[in-house]
Structure 1
Amino acid sequence: MTAQPTSFALFAYRQEPGCFIHVLLNGLDLHDKGHKVKIVIEGPATTLLPEIETLDAPLPSLFKQATDKGLMDGYCLACATKLGAKDGAKASGLAPLSDMNGHPSMARYVEQGFTVINF
C-alpha cells in the first residue's frame, strides 16, 4: 500500500553546509516521491545564502534543483537582517518571509496542512 502524499515544511536553521545539504536532499526526495514540500531558511542558515555558489559541491547544485522545482519558499527577513546577510539573501532570489514579527510563521504552514520539520 502506498502512503498518501502529504505536505512538509522544512525549516533549515543551522549554518552548517552539511546540515543544509541534508535539508535539500530530503526536500528533493520527498518532492520526487509526490509530496508537497516548502523549504524555509531561518536563523543562522540565512548567512549561507550570500555564499551558496561558492560552497563545496553538492550544495550549489542541490540548491539550484530545489529552487528550480519551486521548493524554496523563502528566508527569514529578521534573521537575515540581524545577521548581516540581508543583501545576499535578497540576491538569492528567494522571498523574504516576515509574517510573524519579522520571522516566518510556522502556524501558517500548519494551518495549510504542512507537517513542520526543523533541521
Structure 2
Amino acid sequence: MNKFAFFAFNSNMMCFQHILLNALDLADKGKEAKIIIEGEAVTLVQKLEESNNKHYFKAKERGLIDCICKACSASLGVLEYNQSTNIPLKGDMSGHPSMEAFTKQGYQIITL
C-alpha cells in the first residue's frame, strides 16, 4: 500500500491534527497521501487558515489537501470562506467527494 486518502469528518481539532501529521509522515516516506475535508471538519478550515498551524500550512503547500466538501460547506455556512482558500471544493457524489473516485485510483481510504 502506497496511496492513502484521509477523509476527515470530525470537527475535533486534535483529530484533524493527527490526520495532518500522518499525511505528512507518509509523504515524507515516499507514499502518496491526500486529505479530504468532509462533514463537520469543513468548519475547521477557517480556524486553520487563520492560525499558525505549521502542519496545516505545510500540508497545504505540499498539495496534500486534495479538497473540501462542497455540500457540507454549504450546509454548515462556510462555503464562501472555503471557496476563498484555493483548496478545490468537490462534490461529484451528490455534492460530496466520492470515496470511489479515490479507490479507483488505488487509494486506501482512512476515515476519522
Q: Place the TM-score, normalised by the shorter chain, in its bin.
A: over 0.9
Identify unmatched segments of 5+ residues in structure 1.
Answer: none
TM-align CA RMSD: 1.2
Residues 56-109 of structure 1: CA distance to partner in whole angstroms, max 9, x if unpaired?
x6xx21111001111010100000000001112112211001010100000000
Query: Which is further off, 83-92 or 21-30?
Result: 83-92
Q: Give the paired residue count.
A: 112
User: TM-score of the superposition, structure 1-length normalised?
Assistant: 0.89
Query: Which is further off, 39-48 or 60-69?
Result: 60-69
Query: Which is further off, 35-44 or 5-14?
Result: 5-14
Residue 54 of structure 1: how far off its partner (Å): 3.8
Aligned partners of 1:7 and 1:115 also within 8 Å:
yes
Hey, what does 2:74 align to over in structure 1?
81
Identity fraction in percent? 39
Identify unmatched segments of 5+ residues in structure 2.
Answer: none
Hey, what does 2:49 align to over in structure 1?
53
User: TM-score of the superposition, structure 2-length normalised?
Assistant: 0.95
Residue 51 of structure 1: how far off its partner (Å): 2.0
Mapped partners of 2:50, 2:42: distance in 1: 15
Structure with larger Rg: 1
